[in-house]
Structure 1
Amino acid sequence: MNTISSLETTDLPAAYHIEQRAHAFPWSEKTFASNQGERYLNFQLTQNGKMAAFAITQVVLDEATLFNIAVDPDYQRQGLGRALLEQATIRRNYYPTTDGREDAIIMALPISM
């Protein structure tokens, strides 16, 4: 079973291990540590309790920038990266409703002129 949750500081060693396995030119541990905190919306995807992928995004006002995404090579080609990207496009509790709040899905369509 796949579960997506916040990537916490305590999860960084596992994420760094995936980073080293998934990328030819991985981030340093220092870079990983500097991309954590309240300005970031970072996720991990676990499969049967083991971290299989992560995504690091920085949030500024109403925009998010994907800085890094990696899927452990043992878990690639299963749609895990896509699942993380889809998670990053949801704004939880964005719209007020009569029953509370509703999620928003971020969509964009570039128009060439």
Structure 2
Amino acid sequence: MSCLLVPLTSEDASNMAMIEQQCHQFPMSQMTIETCFGRFYHVIGIELNGGLKGFAIMHMLFEDATLMDICVLPQHQGQGLGKLLLGEIIEMAAQGGAERLMLEVRSSSDSVIALYKAYGFAQTGLREGYYQHEHGKEDAVLMELLL
């Protein structure tokens, strides 16, 4: 498997939105994704066989970095692409001077939570009823990695 990590620009927003729609029941809109390009954002993608298969968005301000989204097409999940994206985001945050990388994840996303824990993230809190869910609301698990 030959994959490539690449910086993304606002011109990639439509492809990112298509990936987002395939990955999440309540995806970010293309308009929202388009707001994630600017001075305080770092957006990277992972290409495989010449096509975008996933991406990650990080917001960084001073010593705080936040993983806003990480997304890999369902048919390419389980191949280590998410790990590559996460590892690169962690490295970018550390090189950029961040002291911590924060994120939130759906409480039902056991495999994703396990991935974050494997990278050293610890749970720091819980936002009750934060996410929309097909049966109402779902909690958000807050996690943080000290860099």
Check whether TM > 0.5.
yes
One-letter amino acid matched to 2:79: Q
Q: String of CA shifts for 1:4-41, please: whole Å, max 9, x gaps.
A: 01111111111110000011110112211111111101
Matches of residues 1-113 of structure 1 in structure 2 within 5 Å? Answer: 1-91=2-92, 94=95
TM-score normalised according to structure 1 size: 0.78
Counterpart-to-counterpart distance in 1, 2:21 and 2:120 = 32
What secondary structure is seen at the aligned counterpart in 2 of 1:36?
coil
Query: C-alpha deviations, 1:32-83, integer Å up to 9, x for none?
Result: 1111111101110001110000001101113210011110112111011111
Shift in alpha-carbon separation, 1:48–1:67, aligned structure 2, 3 A: same
Indicate how the Cα distance of structure 1 residues 38 and 79 shifts in structure 2: closer, same or farther if over 3 A, else same: same
Return structure 1 stretches of 4+ with deviation > 3 angstroms. 106-110
Higher relative contact order (CA 8 A, sep 6+): 1
Provide the identity percentage. Answer: 31
**2:61 and 2:120 mapped to 1: Cα distance?**
17
2: distance between equivalents of 1:52 and 1:109? 24
Deviation for aligned residue 1:108? 6.7
TM-score normalised by structure 2 residue count: 0.61
Gaps of 5+ in 1: 95-105
Shift in Å at residue 109 of structure 1? 7.5
Aligned length: 99
